[in-house]
Amino acid sequence: MERRHFLRLLTGIGIAGVLPMSLVRPALGATPSRFLITVSASGGWDPTALVDPKGNALRADGLGPVNNYPASQIKSIGRLRYAAYPDGVTPPGTDSPGHLDTFFAKHYTRLRVINGVDTQTNGHETGQRFVWSGKLEEGYPSVAALAAAPYASQPMAFISNGGYDFTAALVAPVRTAAASTFTALAYPNSLTPSDPALRSVGFFSSPTYTAVQAAREQRLTRLRVSEALPERAAQMARLQTVRDSDVPLEALLSHLPATVSAGLKGQAEIAVAAFASGLAVSAGLNLGGFDTHGDHDEDQTAALTALLEGVDHLWTQIEQRGLQDKVTVVIGSDFGRTPFYNTADGKDHWNITSVLAMGAGITGNTLIGATDANFEALKLNASTLEPHSAGLLVTPKHIHRALRDFLGVPAELDALFPLPVEKLALFA
Amino acid sequence: MLTISTSTRLAQRLAALGILLVVFAGLLTPVGARAASGASLPTFVHPVLQIPRVDVEGYGAISLSLVLQDEASLRFAIASAVPATAGLEPGATFTLGDGLLVIPTVKAGTAFHALRLQRLPGDVFQLLAAEEVVLPGQLDYTTQCAGCHGADGLGGAVGVSLKNCVNCTSLASLESKIAGTMPLGNPAACTGTCASTVAAYVLDVFNGTSSGGGTAMAAIEVLPLEATLRSAALQLVSRLPTALEQARVANEGETGIRGVLDGMMTEPAFYSRLSEIFNDWLLTNRYLSTNGGEAAIQLMRRYPNARWYDPGVANRGSDYVTLRNTTNDSVAREPLELINHVVRNDLPMTQMLTADYVMLNGYSAKSYGADTSIFTNEWDATEFRPVRLTGVPHAGILSSLMFLNRYPTSATNRNRARSRVVYDLFLDVDILALDGARPDGTAVDISSPAPTLENADCVKCHSLLDPVASSFQNWNLAGNFVRARSWYTDMFQAGFNGTAFPGTSMQEPLQWLSQRIVQDARFDAAIVRLVYTGLMGQEPLDAPGPDATAAETEAWLAESAHLDEIQARYVAANRTLKTLVKELVLSPYWRADGLSDPAQGVVHAATGPARLLTPEMLHRKLNALFGFEWRGTLNSYATSRNVLASARLLDSRQYYQQIYGGIDSFTITVRLGDPNGLMVLVQERMANEMACYAVPNDFLAQKTGRRLFAGVDITTQLNTAQERAAVRATIQHLHAYLLGETLALDSPEIEATYQLFAAVQVEGRKRVGVSELTTLPALCQRNNDLLTGASLNSGGVDGRLRNDPNYTIRAWMAVVAYLLSDYRFLYA
C-alpha cells in the first residue's frame, strides 16, 4: 500500500501551496523553456535486443547464448551499436519506422545511449520507481512530475499515461482519452461540441450560464470559509484553485490531429499538442508488452517495434510543432532481462538496463557506459565516463542526479527529495 | 513534541555547561524518589516540563508544569501548579528548605534524563544538573526492537505500534511474546532477562502515558445519525435510505442504524462496492475483458476447456463475444468473489487466505472443467459457488490464478516479489522500508556464495522475505500448482515469523503459511486499514516519524487508539467484515462534520476529509438520485445498445472514467484524489447535461411521482407569495435531496439558491421570443419514454415536454446544475 506522503498533511492552500513560494512563482506567468517526455517501456525491456547487443556466443557457465543472433550481425552506426533481429523472428518491414535499421538510421544523430545502468532490483514496482524517480524506496516523485512542479498551477502541467506517476502532491497528474473527449470538455456547455457550426448552442444561454458559474463560485467560497475541518477546507481551496484556472482546451484541439492515434502514438500526439498549446510541461508515456517470460524473441521484438514506432511518431510530432529545441525525451524501462533464456524460451528479470535520451539539449550519437559479455554492468570513471575497474556503477540515482541538473530543477525542490550521489555528466 | 533532535540539542547544551553525565539507572544513587512510570512519568516536550506528581516536603503532592523560559541559561518558569491526581506515583520531590527539585527520570523524546533544579526568587527554577539515564530494557529495545517499532515505540512501516499493542495487556503476555518470537527471524536474541526488561520498558514507557486521544476525539463533532444513514446508504449500496430505514434510525438510534446497515449489507449493490474496495488493493480486475477479451482466459493454458465457448472461427455465433467476455470476467472476478462469499456468509475474513476452494460460476466452471451441475442456473453469471479443483491445494487468494499472475515471479526472483506483496497486502508491512533504507547496492558485499543468508545487511530483509517466498515454491511462474522437484538451498526455507515450515506437515507450505498469517495480529490490522481506506478514501495516518510535530503525534495516537478499539471489536465478532464496516461507519472519523474546539484544528489537520467520489461512485449516485444513468439524452436512453460504452463515467476510451481519476487495474492503478483541470470540466459537463435531462424528465411525471419538483409546476413563477413560498420550499427540498443538507427556509444558502432561480427565471422570461426560443434545448426535450423508448406523441395524445414559455424549466435546470457541481455533491 502506498503511504500517504507527509506533504499531503501540509496542504492547506492548494496543491502548490505546500511548496516554498519561490517554487510556485514561475507558474504565475512564466512559460516553461523546456518540456520533458518520459517513455516507459513497462515490464522490463531487453537492452541486448536494442542498444547493448551481445550475440549468440555460448556463455561459459552453460546457460546458453545471450541473444539468438550472431555477433557478426550486430549493427553499428556512428558511435552507436544496435541489435540484429533474432533468428526465426520475422522483422517488421524496413519501411516501418520501428525497424531497427530504419529507426537508428533516422535518429542516431540525436540519440544518447547510457548502457550498464544497475537498477539493483528485479521487481517491477521497485524498478519503475527507481528508474523514474531515482529513489529505490517509496516517496520520491517521478522526474516528469518534478519537472512540472514549478508550473503546478497550469491545468495540465503533468500528463500521465500510467506507469510510475507518483507526484508527492507537487502537481496534479492529468490522464487523457480520445480527441472527442477533449472536444466535449473544451465546450462543457455545448449541446453538440463536435460540430463547429452548432457548437455555440448550449444547455444554458450565455447569461444563464454566467449566473450559474458565479453562484457556484460564491457558494464554494462560503463553504470554505465556514468549514471547521482543515483538510476539508483545503480540499475546497484546491477545488477552487483548479476551477479558477483557465483550461484552454480549444488550443489543445487545434494542435491535435483530426484522428488521434491509438496506443503510444496517441499518447505522443496529445502530449505534444498539450506542449504546443501551453497547457502541459511534462508527460509520461507508457507502453506495455515487455515482460517476456515466454517466447521472448517474438514478443520482445514486437514490443520494441511498437516502442520505436511510437518514439519515431513522437519525434515527428515534436518537429511538426517546431518544438525540437524545447522537448527532451528520456526512454527507459523497469530493468533489463536475463542474459540467457529460460525453459519457456523467455527471459526473466535482470537488474541491468539502459537509458536513452534525445531532443533538446541532448548531444546525440553518443554512447556512455558498458556491460560485459554476460550483460553485467561495468564500472565507469566518474570524470571520463569510460569503463574503469576502480570506478563506480551507474544507478538510476546517478541518472536522476544528472537529469535534474540538466533540466534545471530548482534547488529548493531538489532539496525536498535529495539525491546525494556523485554528479556525472550523463546528459550535458 | 520534543524530538530526538530537540533532546539532543538540550543534551548538547548541558554538555557545553559541563553538567551532563551518562549513567545507567541501576547505578544511580537514589535522589529521593524512585522513577515513576506510565502516566506518572515526567516528560519534557519542548518547552514544557510536565511532572504529574511532585511530592513537596511537608505539604503534599502537586502536579507541576514548568516552561523553559530561557534556553541559554536553562531556566524554567512555573506554568501551573495544582493538586496532583490521586493514584499517581511520585515522579519528583521538592524540598522547601533548600528549594531543590529532584526528578529521577524525565522522558524527553526517546531519551531519559535525571534532573536537579534549584528554585530561585521569583518562582524560577534553574537547571543544575542533567544526567542521561538508560532504563532497564532500554538498551536492548534500542538495539533489537527500535529498528522496526520505532525509537518512540509508535511503530513504523514494518513494525506495529507498541502502544496498546495486542500483547501489551500484561507483563507476562508481552514477555512471552518477545521471548518466543522477537526479534523476527532471530527470537533467540532476546529471551530471559532481555525479554522481561524489554517488556517492562515497553509497558512503562510506551503504554500508560496519556495519549491525549480522548481530548482529540472529543473535539470531533459528528454527523447526526440521520445524515450518517444517508451517507452510508449512498456509499455502501448506491441508493437513498428508505422511509422505513429512516424511521428505524429515528426510533432506535445507533441500534437502529446498525440494524439498517446489516440489511444493506445483504444487497447486491454492497458487494459491487466491496469488490471495488478490495480491487483497489488487489488489482486483480486487471484481467477483466476491458483489458483484453481473454485477459484472464490466457492464464489458463493448463486447462483444456478454458476456451469452451469458441467453436472455431468458422462456427462462431452471434453470441461469441458475449460468451467470451462473460467467461473471461467470471474467471477474472474469482478472488473478489471469494471475498464477497466470505462476507456474505458472515465467515471470518481469515478465510480469504485459508479457503480450500475457489469461487466459480457456470461459465468459469466450464473453463476449469469443473462440474456444472451444482449451479441452479449455469448460465447465471452472478451465481458463484465454492468449488474445490482437483489437484489444487487451495490457499484462498494466495493460490488464486489471478493473484499469482498479477504478482508474478521469475526464475531469478524466486517468489520474493510475491512475498513482498503478501507482507504489504496482508500484514501491512512494507519490507522495502525495513530499517529505513535498503543498503546501497554498491556498498553491499555480495561476494559470498549466499549473501542473503550470510551478509547481515541482506539477512535483515531476507530473513523475513525468503521464508514466505519459499512457501510459494510449488506455485510456478504461470501461477499453477506444480510440485517443485527441489528448492534453492541458498536462501531461507519455507516458514513464517521465525518458525520453519514443519516438513512433517500434511499441508502444502502455502496452506501452512496462510494459516500462520491469519493468526498474526498484523493481518487483522491490515484488514482494518484496508476497509478504513476504502470507506474513507484515504489511508489511516502513518506513525509519526522523528520529525513529527506534537499535533501530528497526538492525531496519530488518537486515531490509532480508536482503530485499535475497532480492531478489537472486529476480532471479537469472529472477524466478520460487516462488523468492521459498521464500526467504521459509526466512528467519529467517518462521521466527522466539524470541531467543537477550533484550537484542535492543528491536531485534526487531516481528520474527516470528504472523499472525491470515484467515477463509479458518482455514476451510481446520479442513478440513485435521478433514476437514470449519465449516458446521453433520455430520448434514446431505452434504445441505446451499448450501455457500458456510453456510460460517461464508466468508459475510458471515449469518455471520462480515467480522465476522472479512475483506474484500469493494469497500467493505471492509483485513483486521483484531487481534481485537476480536466476533471473540473467533467464535473461541469456532468452538471449541465444531467440538469438538462433530469429537470424536464421530472416535470414529465405526475406530481406525486416526482423526485425533485413535487411542490411546483412548470407554470410556477414568482408572481405571488404562494408561488414564491413553493419555490423556496422546493429549493429546500433540493438541498436536502441532492446535497443532504438540512436547511431552514430562511437560511442564507436557501436564499442564495432562490436568488439564482429568480435571476435566471425573471431575466430569462424577458428574453423568450427575443433572443431565446420558447423551446427547450434539443437534448433536454422529452420526446420518448425513458424506459421503453416509445414516442410520447402517439394515439392522439401529445405527452411530450418541449416548451418552456415561462423559463421556469431552464431556471430549475440552472439550480440543479448549480447543486450538482457543488462540493457537497461531488465529495462524500
CB pairs under 8 A between A and B: 252
Q: Is B781 on the interface with A (CB under 8 A)?
A: no
Q: Which of B612, B659, B817 faces A175 most closely, judged by CB atoms? A: B659
Which residues numbered 312-331 in A keep a CB inside 8 Å of some CB on B? none
What residue in B sits closest to A228 (Cα-Cα)? B594
**What is the least distance, in Å, from the CA of B781 to any CA of chain A?**
11
Total count of domains within chain B: 6
* Residues B254 and B278 occupy one common structural domain: no
Q: Which residues contact A169 (CB under 8 A, 6 or more apart)?
A: A5, A7, A8, A11, A15, A18
> What are the chain A neighbours of B442 within 8 Å (beta carbons)?
392-393, 395
Q: Examine residue B562 and state whether it is found in any structural domain, yes or no.
A: yes
Q: Which residue of A has its CA nearest to B222?
A: A229
pLDDT digits (tens, 9 = 90+) for B580-627: 999 999 999 999 999 988 888 888 888 887 899 999 999 999 999 999
CB proximity under 8 Å: B 340-359 to A: none
Residues 239-268 of chain B whose Cβ lies under 8 A from any Cβ of chain A: none
Helical pair B225-237 and B268-282, crossing angle rounded to 10 deg: 70
Least confident residue range of A75-84, A108-117, B62-71, B209-218 = B209-218
CB contact B688 to A (< 8 Å): yes
* pLDDT value, residue B445: 57
State whether the Cα torsion B586-B589-B594-B600 is positive or negative.
Answer: positive
pLDDT for A237 equals 93
Tens digit of each residue's pLDDT (9 = 90 or more) over A55-64: 999 999 899 9
- B548, B503, B282: which is closest to B406 by C-alpha? B282
Ordered DSSP codes for B80-110: EEEEPPTTPPP-EEEETTTTEEEEEEEEETT
Among B437, B608, B677, the residue with its CB nearest the CB of A245 is B677
Q: How confident is the model at residue A4 (pLDDT cuts 50, 70, 90)?
A: very low
| Residue A238 contacts B where some CB pair is shorter than 8 Å | yes
Chain A hits for B608, Cβ within 8 Å: 229, 231-232
Q: Does the beta-carbon distance from B594 to A288 stay under 8 Å?
A: no
Percent of chain A with pLDDT over 90: 70
Q: Is A342 close to B411, i.e. CB distance below 8 A?
A: yes
Domains and their CATH numbers in chain A? 33-178+260-416 (3.40.720.10), 187-247 (no CATH)
Q: Are B422 and B550 in a shared domain?
A: no
Q: Which of B678, B753, B756, B762 to mutate to test the interface with A (most CBs of A within 10 A)?
A: B678
d(CA B793, CA A206): 31
Residues within 8 A of A (CB atoms), B 738-757 only: 748-749, 752-753, 755-756
- Does residue B602 form part of some domain? no
Is B216 in CB contact (< 8 Å) with chain A?
A: no
Cβ pair B438:A243 closer than 8 A: no
With CA atoms as reference, the chain A residue closest to B828 would be A232
Interface of B with A in 513-532 (CB under 8 A): 529-530
Q: Is A105 on the interface with B (CB under 8 A)?
A: no
Kindly state whether residue B395 falls inside one of the protein's structural domains: no
Residues B352 and B359: their CA atoms lie apart, in Å, by 11
Domain membership of residue B393 (yes or no) is no
For residue B293, give its domain range: 269-347+357-387
Position B709 in a domain: yes
B234 and B301: one domain? no
Which residues on chain A are in Cβ contact (under 8 Å) with B430?
Answer: 1, 3, 138
Indicate the residue type of B779. Answer: L
Angle at B109 between CA B108 and CA B115, to 5 degrees: 10
A274-316 pLDDT, tens digit each: 999 988 999 999 998 998 988 899 999 999 999 999 999 999 9
Looking at the fold, whether B730 and B781 belong to one and the same domain comes out as yes
Neighbour count for residue A263 (Cβ, 10 Å):
16
CA atoms of A399 and A113, how far apart (whole Å)? 12
Tell me, what's the pLDDT at B208?
53
Chain A hits for B282, CB-CB cut-off 8 Å, are: none
Please judge whether A123 and B595 are an interchain contact, meaning their C-beta atoms are less than 8 angstroms apart.
Answer: no
Show which of B491, B519, B547 is a domain's final residue: B519
Q: What pLDDT score was predicted for residue B24?
A: 31
- Which residue of chain B comes nearest to A292, CA vs CA? B410
- Predicted ipTM beyond 0.95: no
Residues B667, A231: C-beta atoms closer than 8 Å: no
Q: DSSP readout, A119-158?
A: -S---HHHHHHHHHHS-SSTTPPPHHHHHHGGGTTSTTSE
B58 and B96: one domain? yes
Q: Which of A155, A180, A204 sits opposite B814 (nearest CB)?
A: A204
Cell of B521: 495480529
Identify whether residues B103 and B157 lie together within a single domain. no
CB contact under 8 A, B681 and A205: no
The residues, ordered by sequence, that sit 6+ positions from B31 with a Cβ below 8 Å of its Cβ are B93, B102, B104, B114, B116
Of A6, A181, A229, the CB nearest to B659: A181
For chain A, say whether B634 makes contact (Cβ under 8 Å).
no
Do B553 and B475 have their domain in common?
no
User: Is the pLDDT score of A328 beyond 80?
Assistant: yes
Please indicate whether, in this complex, the C-beta atoms of B432 and A161 are within 8 angstroms of each other.
no
Residues of chain A in contact with residue B769, where contact means CB-CB under 8 angstroms, are none
The shortest C-alpha distance from A223 to chain B (Å) reads 9
**Residue B695 placed within a domain:** yes
Residue B42 lies in a domain: yes
Identity of residue B204: D
Please state, in angstroms and rounded to a whole number, the distance separating the CA atoms of residues A103 and A94: 9
Please state whether beta strands A352-359 and B111-120 pair in parallel, antiparallel, or not at all (unpaired): unpaired
Q: Does A223 touch chain B (CB under 8 A)?
A: yes
Contacts of A174 in chain B (CB under 8 A): 659, 676-678
- pLDDT at residue A187, rounded to an integer: 93
B158 and B294 co-located in one domain: no
Find which of B442, B532, B542 to mutate to test the A interface (most A CBs within 10 Å of its CB): B442
Give the residue from B593, B625, B651 where a domain finishes: B593
Candidates A9, A208, A236; nearest CB to B760: A208
- Region A403-410: mean pLDDT is 95
Residue B555, all three cell numbers:
492525531
Residue B347 Cα to chain centre, angstroms:
21
Please state the pTM of the whole predicted model. Answer: 0.74
Task: Looking at the structure, tell me whether residues B644 and B783 fall in a common domain.
Answer: yes
**Which residue in B586, B606, B588 sits closest to B541, CA to CA?**
B606
Regions of chain B with pLDDT less than 50: 1-34, 209-212, 436-443
Cell digits of residue A154: 497550469
- Identify the pLDDT of residue A171: 82
**Is residue A292 within 8 angstroms of chain B, CB to CB?**
no
| B763 vs A contacts (CB less than 8 Å) | 207
- Are B749 and B673 within one domain? yes
Taking the Cβ of residue B541 and every Cβ of chain A, the question of whether any pair is shorter than 8 Å is answered with: yes
Which of B437, B688, B753 faces A204 most closely, judged by CB atoms?
B688
Residue B533: list chain A partners with CB under 8 A.
Answer: 1
Q: Is residue B661 part of a domain?
A: yes
Do B507 and B463 lie in a common domain? yes
Q: Are both B764 and B681 inside the same structural domain?
A: yes
**Is A188 in Cβ contact with B688 (below 8 Å)?**
yes
Inter-chain contact B675–A211, Cβ cutoff 8 Å?
A: no
Is A9–B608 a contact, with Cβ atoms under 8 angstroms apart? no
* Cα dihedral across residues B441, B444, B448, B451: positive or negative: negative
The nearest alpha carbon in chain A to B815 belongs to A212
Whether A9 has a pLDDT exceeding 60, the answer reads no
